[in-house]
């Protein structure tokens, strides 16, 4: 089965902190932010139905309603499959996962309505459902694709085994996973090798490790990463965050980072990190700072 290739912009702009869970941008502020991203060549915006307790997609949709010309200029990713207890979902009594055909299709329909768009560029299953039926998921994906409502499909936070299972029934375009200098699992568990094998682009959420490296900490691991990262920042005339992103960019699977900031200057800084080419030894210096031990 041939996997579908989707072309992402150099970095993906995450929307989780633009709305109720962060900056609480109004429509005018959001428009300025999106326009600034587009001026930098960044047209990918990453959503999930649950963001802002089911409000952030609708906030973004209000922007597209007020400026419909933006839709043709951007790619929209959203995610479904988590049922989050919220006042906006009073029928949910417990946080749970649902990857049933009915839930996927209804979630996609909801996202289309909230985002004020006729189609989604990419729909991801947000987290692996322990009760997932790959036949059902594949059927839901096929219905949405045939109707023209979703162009591409993928997953998020799937293990290589979970990815392989679903990929046997429906071609997946990406696996969005947590990857950072602080979170190394994907380098060792086969996730990135799998992406290379299938020629798909891995996308990385929390590529800066949730910001822990930039906060006061007594954690020896964080202190080691900060020390080596700052040394390399001086060497490459860069900032610490740029070095950590450059470290991800160096991997041959061509990881694309999802940047979760509401500050346009931080987005610009992240984009500039693409110009930094770490030597292999410097790459492994950072690896060692994270693991605390030599590789051999």
E strand or H helix that includes residue 39: helix 27-39
Helix (H, G, I), strand (E, B) or coil at 16: coil
DSSP 8-state code for residue 118: S
DSSP letter at 255 equals -
122 phi and psi, to 5 degrees? -150, 130
Which among 295, 291, 296 is positioned nearest to 228, based on CA atoms?
A: 291
Tally Cβ neighbours within 10 Å of residue 264.
Answer: 17
The answer to whether 177 touches 191, Cβ cutoff 8 Å, is yes
Among 148, 170, 45, residue whose Cα is nearest residue 99: 170
Catalytic residue among 51, 54, 92, 284: 51
Residue 157 to residue 127: CA distance in whole angstroms:
5
51 given a catalytic annotation = yes
| Rounded-to-integer distance, Cα 274 and Cα 256, Å | 10
CA dist., res. 79 & res. 12, Å (int): 14
- The three-point CA angle 283-285-286 to 5° equals 70
Token readout for 60 is: 């973004």
Place of tokens 């006729």: 118
For 125, the enclosing helix (H) or strand (E) is strand 120-125
Active site residues: 51
């Amino acid at each position: 089965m041939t996997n579908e290739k989707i072309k992402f912009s150099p970095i993906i702009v995450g929307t989780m902190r633009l709305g109720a869970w962060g900056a609480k941008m109004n429509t005018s502020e959001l428009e300025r932010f999106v326009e600034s991203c587009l001026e930098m060549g960044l047209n990918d915006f990453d959503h999930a139905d649950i963001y802002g307790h089911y409000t952030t997609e609708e906030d973004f949709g209000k922007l597209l309603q007020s400026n419909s010309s933006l839709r043709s200029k951007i790619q929209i990713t959203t995610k479904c499959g988590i049922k989050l207890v919220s006042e906006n979902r009073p029928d949910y009594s417990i946080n749970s996962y649902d990857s049933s055909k009915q839930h996927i299709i209804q979630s996609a329909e909801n996202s289309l309505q909230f985002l004020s768009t006729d189609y989604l560029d990419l729909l991801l299953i947000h987290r692996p459902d322990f009760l997932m039926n790959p036949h059902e998921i594949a059927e839901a994906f096929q219905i949405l694709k045939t109707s023209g409502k979703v162009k591409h499909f993928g997953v998020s936070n799937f293990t290589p085994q979970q990815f392989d299972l679903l990929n046997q029934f429906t071609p997946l375009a990406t696996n969005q996973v947590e990857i950072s200098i602080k979170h190394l699992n994907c380098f060792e568990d086969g996730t990135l090798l799998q992406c290379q094998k299938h020629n798909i682009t891995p996308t990385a959420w929390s590529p800066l490790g949730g910001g822990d490296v930039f906060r006061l900490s007594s954690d020896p691991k964080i202190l080691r990463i900060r020390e080596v990262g700052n040394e390399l920042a001086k060497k490459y005339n860069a900032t610490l965050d740029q070095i950590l992103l450059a470290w991800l960019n160096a991997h041959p699977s061509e990881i694309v980072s999802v940047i979760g900031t509401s500050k346009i200057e931080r987005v610009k800084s992240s984009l500039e990190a693409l110009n930094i080419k770490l030597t292999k030894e410097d790459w492994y210096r950072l690896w060692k700072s994270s693991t605390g031990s030599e590789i051999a």
